[in-house]
Amino acid sequence: MRAIWGLAAIVLSAGTAVAADSVKLDVDLTDAPRHIIRSKLTFPAHAGPMTLRYPEWLPGEHGPTGPIKNIAGVFIKANGKDIGWARDPKDMYAFRVDVPAGATEIEASLDLLDPAQVEGFSSGASTTAKLAILSWNQVVLYPDGVKGNAIDYEATLTLPAGWTYGTALPVATPRASGIAFKRVSLTTLVDSPVLAGEYMRTVVLDDRPGKKAVIDMAADARADLAVPPELEKAYARLVKEADALFGCRHYGEYHFLLTLSDHVPHFGLEHHESSDDRVYERSYLDPDRTRMMQNLLPHEYVHSWNGKFRRPADLLPDELGKPIDSTLLWVYEGMTQYLGWVLATRSGVRPLQEGLDRLAYAAAQLDTRGGRSWRNLEDTATAAQLLYESSDAWEAWRRGTDFYDEGLLIWLEADVTIRRLTGNKRSLDDFCKRFHGGGTGLPEVKTYTFDDVVSELNAIAPYDWAKFLNDRVKRRDHGAPMGGIEGGGWQLTYTDTPTSLIKSDEEVTDNLDLRYSLGFRLDKNGAIIDVQPESKAWAAGISPGMKLVAVNGRRFTKGVLRDAVKGTKPARATIKLLIEHDDYFREVSLDVDGGERYPTLTRKAGGDDVIGRILAPQAKKP
Ligand SMILES: [Zn+2]
C-alpha cells in the first residue's frame, strides 16, 4: 500500500509535473495549550500553476467535515519569497498558486485554530491546557487530484516541554526537540493520529512481539488516569475475545488513544491501528461515567476489522476531496455496534445484566421512532452526513444515525437466525472468521458490496439473506426489528424502575428520560429536548424548545415531575404541566396511567437463552 508518487513524474490537474520525492511536514504543538497548532509543508514543485487542497471528506466521519473554516495564517513561499495564493471561488478547500520559474519546491505554512466548542467530532475542540489530539488531516495540504496512497509524507512533531505522546504512526528517530516519523502515505498519515499531553499513561493489553496492543491515555488531571484494576484486566480480555471472534488481526500495533477531558467532544473515531477515543474526565473515578463509556473501546476496536480491513467499496474514496456513498453504513457501523456489544460483555468490560439493559435501551428507543413511517433505515445511512450534524430536537420524528443501534438489532437477529438454521452448529462468529479473516496481518483494505455480504452469509448458512436484509433496511412502518431479541429467548417489557444504564445516563447528562410514560426527554431546567411521535405529549402539542415551568401547580424540578408520574399508578390521574412557549405560557393536561415506564428485557417463558450464549466468553482461559 506504500507508494509511488513520482516514480515517474505525474501530471497534476493544473498541468504541473512534480518530482519523485515526499512531502516534508513539520507540525508544532508548542502552542496547542492556547489552541493553535502550527504546520509547515514543503512540496516538490515545478514552474507553473499548482493547486493544493485541504482534506474535506474524512474516513470514519462519513462526511465533509474537514475544518477549513478554522484555518488561518496561510502563507506560500518559493525560494524564501511569499508567492501568494487564491482560493478557488467554487471550491473552498482548494488553494491555487503560481510556482515561479526556477523553483523546485514550495513551502506552505498554516495554523489550525482549534475551536472551543465541545461538540461535533474530530474537528471540535481537540486541545486543552494539558493535552492535544493531533488529526494530521487538519494540518496538511496535498496536490489536487493525487490519491492518498500515491503520495508520501515525512512528518516531524514538536511537543510542549514535559509532554509525551502515543500514536500508531511508526517513529523513525526520536530527536531532542521532537519526533521524526517514518515516511508513510497520506492515507496512513491521516489514519494515524497522535495523542500528546502532560499527564499520560500507557496500559499494556498485549505485549507479545508483533501483537502489541496498548491504551495510551491522556487526561486534564493525573488522577483521571487511574483505571480500576478489574477493568484493565477486562480490556486485556477484550483483545483476546476479539482474537477468538475474528481469528486474526490486521494491524502491526494497536493503540487506543484515550482522552479524558470535559473540554473536548465525546466520541470515538476508528483507524486501522488506533482509535481516537474521547470521554468525560473522571470516567474511571465515577461509576456512572464508567458505565457510559462501556461501549466505546470495544466498538472502536472492532472497526480495525469491520470498517477498516473490510470496507464497503463505496465508502473508499479515491482521494480526500471526493464524496463517499455511505448507504452500507448499517453494515460498517451497524455490525460494529453489534460486535462491540458482544465483545464488551464477553470480555467483562460490561457486566452481563448491563449488556441486556443496553439492548433494551436501544430496542425501546427504536421501537418508538415515529420517523420510521417516512424514512427507512437505509436512508439514515445514506443521509448520515446530514444526521451526524443534526440536533437532538425532533430526532424521534426525523430519525438520527439509527443504523448503529438498529444495526445491532438486525445483526443480532442474523446471528440468532444462523444458530437456528444450523442447529446451533454455526453463528455470526463463523461469518466473522470468514468475512474478516485472511489478509497479511498488516493494514490493508478489502472492499465489499451488498451482494458480497449476502454470499458470505450464504456460505455459513444457506438462506434468502438478500430478502432478510432488504426486508429490514428498506421497510417503512412501525416498531423496531425485534426478531433477534425474541428469537434469542427474551422480550422487551417496561417496568417502573429505571435500569442502572438509564440512571447513569440521567446522572451524567442531568436530563430526565420520560419517553415511555409522558413521551419526552427534558433537561434539568425543564427544556424539552425531544418528544416521541404517537405519545401523550406529542398529541397535546408539546414540542422541542418549549420549557416545562410547573407540574400540578408546583415549580418544576426533576423530583417534582418524577413524583407526579409515579402518582399515576395504581390509579389513572391527570398531570397538569405549565409550559413556557416562546414567551407565552399555557397549561397542558395529560391523562396518564401506569406510573413510570422504563425499558428492560425479561426472559420469555420456556425456550433457549440464545442471547445468554452469544454473550458468554469464548476466549480460552490462559
Ligand atoms: Zn463506529
pLDDT tens per residue, range 292-340: 999 999 999 999 999 999 999 999 877 888 899 999 999 999 999 999 9
What per-residue confidence (pLDDT) applies to 116? 82
Confidence grade of residue 587 (pLDDT, cut at 50, 70, 90): very high
- CA angle, residues 356, 618, 270, in degrees to nearest 5: 70
pLDDT tens per residue, range 168-200 = 999 997 666 689 999 999 999 999 999 999 999
Distance 287 CA to ligand 1 centre (A): 24
| CB proximity list for 551: less than 8 A, separation 6 or greater | 560, 561, 564, 575, 576, 577, 578
C-alpha atoms less than 13 angstroms from C-alpha of 110 in its C-beta half-sphere: 27
Distance 235 CA to ligand 1 centre (A): 18
Calculate the CA dihedral of residues 477, 478, 483, 484 and round it to 10 degrees: 110
Distance 337 CA to ligand 1 centre (A): 7
List the grid coordinates of 344: 464488551
Number of residues in the chain: 622
What per-residue confidence (pLDDT) applies to 12? 37
- Looking only at the bridges linking them, the beta strands covering 152-158 and 184-185 are antiparallel
Distances (CA, A) of 611 to 239, 262, 286, 616: 21, 35, 29, 9
Distance 218 CA to ligand 1 centre (A): 21
What per-residue confidence (pLDDT) applies to 17? 38
What per-residue confidence (pLDDT) applies to 176? 63
Confidence grade of residue 120 (pLDDT, cut at 50, 70, 90): confident
> Is residue 13's pLDDT more than 80?
no
Distance 308 CA to ligand 1 centre (A): 10
pLDDT tens per residue, range 392-413 = 999 999 999 999 999 999 999 9
Distance 303 CA to ligand 1 centre (A): 7
Distance CA 232, CA 291 (A): 15
Distance CA 250, CA 153 (A): 22
Round the average pLDDT of the chain to a whole number and report it. Answer: 94
Segment 481-492 shows an average pLDDT of 98
Q: Is 59 helix (H, G, I), strand (E, B) or coil?
A: coil
What per-residue confidence (pLDDT) applies to 11? 35
Q: Is 236 helix (H, G, I), strand (E, B) or coil?
A: helix
What per-residue confidence (pLDDT) applies to 178? 80
Q: Which residues pair with 457 in a beta bridge?
A: none
Please report which helix (H) or strand (E) contains residue 243, including its range: helix 229-246
Distance 333 CA to ligand 1 centre (A): 5
- CA angle, residues 257, 261, 264, in degrees to nearest 5: 85
Distance CA 139, CA 577 (A): 51
Confidence grade of residue 234 (pLDDT, cut at 50, 70, 90): very high
Distance CA 405, CA 401 (A): 8
Distance of CA 565 to the CA centre of its chain: 35
> Is residue 217's pLDDT more than 80?
yes
Distance 276 CA to ligand 1 centre (A): 11
> Is residue 14's pLDDT more than 80?
no
Provide the angle, in degrees to the nearest 10, between the axes of the packed helices 334-347 and 405-421: 70
Could you tell me where the DSSP H helices lie in 436-499?
A: 450-460, 465-473, 483-487
- CA angle, residues 104, 72, 94, in degrees to nearest 5: 55
What per-residue confidence (pLDDT) applies to 299? 98
pLDDT tens per residue, range 27-37 = 999 999 999 99
Distance 516 CA to ligand 1 centre (A): 27
Distance 413 CA to ligand 1 centre (A): 20
Segment 483-509 shows an average pLDDT of 97
Could you tell me where the DSSP H helices lie in 183-228?
A: 186-190
Average the pLDDT over each of 169-183, 222-236, 264-278, 404-418 and give the range with the smallest value.
169-183
Distance 184 CA to ligand 1 centre (A): 25
| CB proximity list for 126: less than 8 A, separation 6 or greater | 114, 132, 133, 134, 135, 138, 264
Q: How many other CB atoms are found less than 10 A from the CB of residue 135? A: 25
Q: Give burial (CB, 10 Å; 0-12/13-18/19+) of 27.
A: buried
Q: Is 220 helix (H, G, I), strand (E, B) or coil?
A: coil
Q: Are 484 and 491 in contact (CB under 8 A)?
A: no
**Alpha-carbon radius of gyration of the chain:** 26
Average the pLDDT over each of 113-117, 412-416, 572-576 and give the range with the smallest value.
113-117
What per-residue confidence (pLDDT) applies to 209? 87
Distance 174 CA to ligand 1 centre (A): 33
Name the phi and psi angles at 275, rounded to 5.
-145, 145
DSSP calls for 587-620: EEEEEE-S---EEEEEEPSSS--HHHHHTS--SP
Distance 63 CA to ligand 1 centre (A): 13
> Is residue 97's pLDDT more than 70?
yes
What per-residue confidence (pLDDT) applies to 8? 31
Name the phi and psi angles at 487, rounded to 5.
-65, -20
> Is residue 18's pLDDT more than 90?
no
What per-residue confidence (pLDDT) applies to 1? 25
Distance 464 CA to ligand 1 centre (A): 27
Distance 155 CA to ligand 1 centre (A): 27
What per-residue confidence (pLDDT) applies to 618? 98
Distance 450 CA to ligand 1 centre (A): 19
Distance 262 CA to ligand 1 centre (A): 21
> Is residue 622's pLDDT more than 70?
no
> Is residue 20's pLDDT more than 80?
no
- Looking only at the bridges linking them, the beta strands covering 171-175 and 178-181 are antiparallel
Residues within 5 Å of ion ligand 1, judged at the Cβ atom: 333
Distance of CA 93 to the CA centre of its chain: 24
What per-residue confidence (pLDDT) applies to 318? 72
Q: Are 291 and 355 in contact (CB under 8 A)?
A: no
